[in-house]
Structure formats: structure tokens, C-alpha cells
Structure 1
Amino acid sequence: MFGRLLTFAGGIAVAALVIPDLASSYLSKPDTRGSGKTAEIGAIPATTAKHASGKAVVLEADRSGHFFGDFRINGRTERGLVDTGASTIAINVSTARRLGLSTGTLAFNVRVGTANGEVAAARAKLAKVEIGGISLRDVDAFVLPDKSLSGTLVGMSFLSRLSSYRVEDGALHLVR
């Protein structure tokens, strides 16, 4: 039962990364409304942190309603899509290598559902995940094949360890 739930959550998480790619022609123009800064990465505009003070960070939603942030994972900056429907942080093999994980020792023995069908994923532990003044150690993650995941997904293995997180007026508030 837990395996099915994990597979379902993984599928939802990966779909959250695939759907923005399908709408890339719509999203290719950065949103200039509001006071948040925007940066274009590939075909997906990603908002930067609007406010980052102490142990609180506010991320503005992009045009499609997604929340992106610049996270420092194991000392390296990675653009991440925050997804409350994902059970863990999800990264691909190339990102895992960049973050210093030994991909040769990963056991791809967890089946997760994606928009492209089921794929094997490996459990991993990220030494440190940070955004703004928020910093967490030993955060659970899944590593997926590059072809199955094009970006970094920040799920509940990060969010559940915060004091709070909420969406209000088109912004995601993260508090440690």
C-alpha cells in the first residue's frame, strides 16, 4: 500500500515538471507584473525570492501558478519547483552528480509513476538544502533517470520540516 502511495506521489511530482514543458510556448515570455524579479530559464520563466529575511522566504508564483526558487543543495545552486504534492525532493542523475552524489552506488529499486510511465528511482540523502536563510540537513530525495525528469522538484521531505508554509496572494511563504 505504501509503495502504491509513493508511486502515485512520485507520478504527481514528475507530472508537475512535465506539464510546464508542454506549455513552453505560452510560458516563454517572462511575467513582468508585480514587483518580483523574473529570470528566464529555458522556456520556463522562474521567479526569484521576493523576500528573504532571516528564516523566512517568499516566492512569487510564475504565470502558470508554479513556485520556483534558487535553492543551494550540497553547496550548489539549483533552480527548484516547489510542489506540495510531491513526497520528496526529486532530482535527475546529472543533477545528482553535480551535487556530489556518487551515482554509481545508487540503487534504482523504487518504482515511481511519471507522465511517461513507471521508472526506477533511487533513494538519496542530501546533506544540506537551503533557500534564503532557511537551511536543512539530511533531506530525503529521489534520483530519477535524466530522461524522466528535466528539473529539480522540491517536495514534502523539505517542506514538512519547516515551521510553516502557505500560499497567500499569489506568493508561497516558507518559514523555518
Structure 2
Amino acid sequence: MMRVVFAICLAAIAFIALMPGGPSTPVRQAATVITDSAEDAAPAPAIQQAGNGIAEVILRRAPDSHFYADARVNGATVRFLVDSGASAVVLTRADAQAAGIGTQAGEFTARAMSANGEVKLKPVTLDRVAIGPVTANNVEAMVAENDLTVSLLGQSFLERVAKMEISDGEMRLR
């Protein structure tokens, strides 16, 4: 009788050991890719939505027919022109400096065309952009080499807003 129990236990242990996910299956871990480029080595920041669809910010149309927002960028207050036609948030050099972002010659590696011609830009990631309760972390942005008159709040922030409405001279961000 002991031989039968021993044989059953041995068979059960062998069965468990050979099952997928059993003790003999190696533990799978996330692969780490090592590259020569520091740019490729950094993980992409997680994209999270700004606003929750409930908390709301109301911006009133200015006399020049544009919408402006005072936002906190990395803790500094920045005045933005809301520009849904801009693909990214674009900071003036002064606003970038206030937000703790340094700029040096040679860092302006991106280019864009504006109404005034070619603009040289420095790609950056902003830790946090907040307009009241509507906030986003890890926002892709640019710093303009030639100072703009005002920073632009573009799609790299606006596309994260849960809801954006314009009516009766007001823009609502939720």
C-alpha cells in the first residue's frame, strides 16, 4: 500500500513539475534592451489623460478673440495662448527658464515653420502642466530659440483633456 501512495505522490510531483507554469518553467521577466544611444535607453513616459471629465476650467475669450490660460509648468506660472493648431506645447525661452529648463546653443535640433518663417526648437519633457485641476505629467514640449511673444498650449497637452468645448465666448476644459 505504501508503494502505491509513494508512486502516486511521485507521479503528482512529476506532473506538476512538467506543467506549463510549474516549477521547471523559468520565470519570465521583462527584457531590458541595451543600446548605445542614451535617447533609446530611457523608457517612454506614460501618457495619462489631463482632466477627469468632471473638474473644470473655464477660459474666457480675450478681446483679441484668442483664449489664454495661466498654467503651472514644473511649478512656475506661465501665460499660454491656447493654440489647437500647434502640435506641441511651445515655451518661450524666458518661460522655459522660469520652469527650470536651461537652453544652450546647439540644443535647438528640431525645426518648425511658422507664419514668420523657420523656428529652431529644443525638444523637452515637462514634468507637469496644470491649469487649475486639469493637469498632465510628462508633457512633450518644445522651447523656441527665437523668443515668441507668448508660449503656446498645443496638442501635446490639449489631446489629453477629456473634454474641450467652446461656446458663448468660453472654452471649457474637463
Q: State the Cα distance separating 1:64 from its structure 2 match.
A: 2.1
Q: Which amino acid aligns with 1:55?
A: A
Aligned to 1:144: 144
**1:82 equivalenced with 2:82 (yes/no):** yes
Q: State the Cα distance separating 1:104 from its structure 2 match.
A: 3.3
8 Å contact kept, 1:106–1:122: no
Q: State the Cα distance separating 1:56 from its structure 2 match.
A: 0.7
Q: Secondary structure of 1:130's match?
A: strand
The 1-side partners of 2:90 and 2:101 are apart by 13
8 Å contact kept, 1:94–1:146: no
Aligned to 1:155: 154
Q: State the Cα distance separating 1:132 from its structure 2 match.
A: 1.1
8 Å contact kept, 2:60–2:171: yes
The equivalences for 1:49-60 within 5 A come to: 55-60=55-60
**Structure 2 unaligned blocks of 5 or more:** 1-53
8 Å contact kept, 2:73–2:130: yes
The 2-side partners of 1:95 and 1:106 are apart by 19
Aligned to 1:103: 103
The equivalences for 1:57-76 within 5 A come to: 57-76=57-76
Could you tell which deviates more after superposition, 114-123 or 160-169?
A: 114-123
The 1-side partners of 2:119 and 2:105 are apart by 18
Q: Which amino acid aligns with 1:167?
A: I
User: Percent identity at matched positions?
Assistant: 36
TM-score by length of 2: 0.65
How many aligned residue pairs are there? 121
Deviations 1:108-148 (A, max 9, x none): 1111112321121111111000011111101111111244x
Higher helix share: 1
8 Å contact kept, 2:122–2:145: no
Aligned to 1:130: 130
TM-score by length of 1: 0.64
Q: Secondary structure of 1:103's match?
A: coil
8 Å contact kept, 1:106–1:124: no
Which is greater in Rg? Answer: 2
RMSD of aligned alpha carbons: 1.7
The 1-side partners of 2:151 and 2:71 are apart by 10
Q: Which amino acid aligns with 2:151?
A: T
8 Å contact kept, 1:86–1:155: yes
Q: State the Cα distance separating 1:105 from its structure 2 match.
A: 8.4
Q: State the Cα distance separating 1:169 from its structure 2 match.
A: 1.1
The 2-side partners of 1:68 and 1:93 are apart by 18
Higher strand share: 1
